[in-house]
């Protein structure tokens, strides 16, 4: 998978990384709203942002501070039209900056306590349909449990998802601060989701815990792991995940911040099925083209390894088999054409 990248850091690899067609499966809608859209909606709803004039409204100083900011961004979305506008703007940015063709987006129902679940989803579906019509991007939704809440709140969220089914909602996720929400707390919510045919993913091992990854795999029955970097501390668990072909949604910038060292290359080398994603691209700020080039240049991945990460992502999507096959075929021919257009280093 990895080989010395002779052109790492060169403009050639940058252009190739940017122009690759991509899927995105680890992206939180509130963290993907362009800052101008966020400011407009907050003004329209009369909700103050935490920065003063001239300061970056998306500045944050630590993970905990980021999570506080994330909650404040959630708080400005009040109406169906706000959700529609936010997701449309996020998808426009993803298309333009990362050449993203298919996205499964997290949103955080319990972080909008004054907005009924149905209003949130209906607005998001409106925006997704408009973006597909105008921009060609296809998006689906993953309501995500805020793990700092009690188990009963997670169960209630899953009950709402089940009671108000829309085809665009494919499964559930779980995010926020792992230190305040151990995975074992959410067994009942995950079982209920599974019983109702929902796919399941969860953040785990974002800051290095292998145990959180193990419990998430063994007790929550997940189809994917988000981040998962801590798995590198447990070789036996790595082997089990490789044998099962369990997908991992890695995020380059966040992995460096949270782990303090490059880890995605080592996960790929270990044989894990890693895709590359952008997490909270507008807030960080980053985009998926930058994430791909960042991985290549810091982890010594060559073009072929980047293509493998794209295809790992395609295989890990929650599309049905025929749609996944169609996406795979489209990506293979586009990537072939891109390789011919930009002869490799
Ligand atoms: N980790 C945990 N919680 C989050 C994240 C993340 O990467 N992004 C938004 N909420
Ligand atoms: Zn995340």
Per the model's pLDDT, the better-predicted residue between 11 and 140 turns out to be 140
Residue 125 belongs to what H/E stretch? Answer: helix 117-135
For ligand 1, whether the C-beta of 280 sits within 6 Å is: yes
Q: Is residue 59 part of a domain?
A: no
Mean pLDDT of 91-113: 98
Least confident residue range of 27-41, 42-56, 213-227, 242-256: 42-56
For ligand 1, whether the C-beta of 281 sits within 6 Å is: no
Closest ligand (CA of 205): 1
Closest ligand (CA of 283): 1
Burial 194-220 (b: 16+ CB within 10 A, else e): beeebbbbbbbbbbbbbebbbbbbeeb
For ligand 1, whether the C-beta of 70 sits within 6 Å is: yes
Nearest residue (by CA) to ligand 1, atom 9, is: 28
Distance 159 CA to ligand 2 centre (A): 23
Nearest residue (by CA) to ligand 1, atom 3, is: 176
Q: Is residue 37 part of a domain?
A: no
Q: Which atom number of ligand 1 is nearest to the Cα of residue 254?
A: 7
- What confidence tens digit (pLDDT) does each residue in 225-254 have? 999 999 999 999 999 999 999 999 999 999
Q: Is residue 5 part of a domain?
A: no
pLDDT of residue 4: 35
For ligand 1, whether the C-beta of 147 sits within 6 Å is: no
Closest ligand (CA of 67): 1
Tell me whether the omega of the peptide bond preceding residue 222 falls within 30 degrees of 0, making it cis.
no
Report every protein residue that has its C-beta within 5 angstroms of ion ligand 2.
279
Q: Is residue 48 part of a domain?
A: no
For ligand 1, whether the C-beta of 178 sits within 6 Å is: no
Q: Is residue 66 part of a domain?
A: no
Mean pLDDT of 178-192: 98
* pTM for the whole structure: 0.96
- What confidence tens digit (pLDDT) does each residue in 331-343 have? 999 999 999 999 8
Task: Please give the structure tokens belonging to residue 242.
Answer: 């490789």
- What confidence tens digit (pLDDT) does each residue in 295-326 have? 999 999 999 999 999 999 999 999 999 999 99
3-state SS assignment for residue 46: coil
Q: Is residue 121 part of a domain?
A: yes
Per the residue annotation, which of 24, 92, 178, 206 is the catalytic one? 206
CA-based angle 56:60:63, to the nearest 5? 160
Q: How far apart are CA 216 and CA 224, in angstroms?
A: 10
- What confidence tens digit (pLDDT) does each residue in 158-175 have? 999 999 999 999 999 999
Provide the domain count of the chain. 1
Q: Is residue 135 part of a domain?
A: yes
Least confident residue range of 6-20, 82-96, 313-327: 6-20
Q: Is residue 70 part of a domain?
A: no
* Whether 206 is catalytic: yes
For ligand 1, whether the C-beta of 226 sits within 6 Å is: no
The whole domain housing 207 covers 11-29+83-341
Q: What's the CATH code of the domain at 121?
A: 3.20.20.140
Distance 28 CA to ligand 1 centre (A): 7
- What confidence tens digit (pLDDT) does each residue in 190-203 have? 999 999 999 999 99
């Amino acid at each position: 998978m990895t080989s010395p990248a002779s052109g790492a850091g060169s403009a050639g690899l940058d252009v190739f990384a940017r122009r690759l067609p991509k899927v995105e499966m680890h992206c939180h809608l509130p963290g993907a709203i362009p800052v101008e859209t966020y400011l407009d909606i907050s003004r329209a709803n009369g909700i103050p942002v935490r920065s003063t004039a001239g300061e970056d409204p998306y500045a944050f100083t630590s993970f905990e501070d980021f999570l506080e900011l994330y909650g404040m961004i959630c708080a400005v979305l009040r109406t169906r039209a706000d959700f529609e506008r936010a997701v449309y703007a996020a998808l426009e940015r993803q298309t333009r900056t990362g050449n993203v063709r298919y996205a499964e987006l997290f949103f955080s129902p319990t972080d909008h306590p004054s907005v009924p679940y149905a209003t949130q989803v209906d607005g998001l579906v409106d925006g997704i349909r408009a973006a597909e019509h105008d921009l060609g991007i296809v998006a689906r939704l993953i309501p995500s449990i805020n793990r700092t809440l009690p188990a009963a709140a997670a169960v209630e969220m899953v009950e709402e998802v089940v009671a108000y089914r829309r085809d665009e909602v494919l499964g559930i996720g779980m995010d926020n601060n792992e230190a305040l929400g151990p995975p074992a707390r959410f067994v009942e919510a995950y079982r209920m989701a599974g019983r109702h045919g929902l796919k399941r993913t969860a953040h785990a091992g974002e800051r290095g815990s292998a145990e959180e990854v193990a419990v998430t795999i063994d007790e929550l029955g997940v189809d994917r792991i988000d981040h998962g970097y801590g798995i590198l501390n447990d070789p036996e668990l790595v082997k089990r995940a490789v044998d099962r072909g369990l997908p991992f949604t890695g995020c380059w910038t966040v992995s460096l911040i949270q782990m303090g060292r490059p880890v995605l290359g080592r996960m790929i080398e270990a044989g894990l099925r890693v895709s590359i994603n952008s997490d909270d691209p507008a807030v960080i700020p980053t985009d998926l083209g930058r994430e791909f080039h960042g991985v290549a240049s810091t982890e010594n991945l060559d073009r072929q390894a980047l293509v493998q990460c794209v295809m790992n992502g395609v295989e890990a999507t929650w599309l049905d088999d025929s749609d996944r096959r169609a996406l795979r075929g489209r990506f293979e021919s586009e990537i072939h054409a891109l390789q011919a257009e930009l002869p490799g280093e």
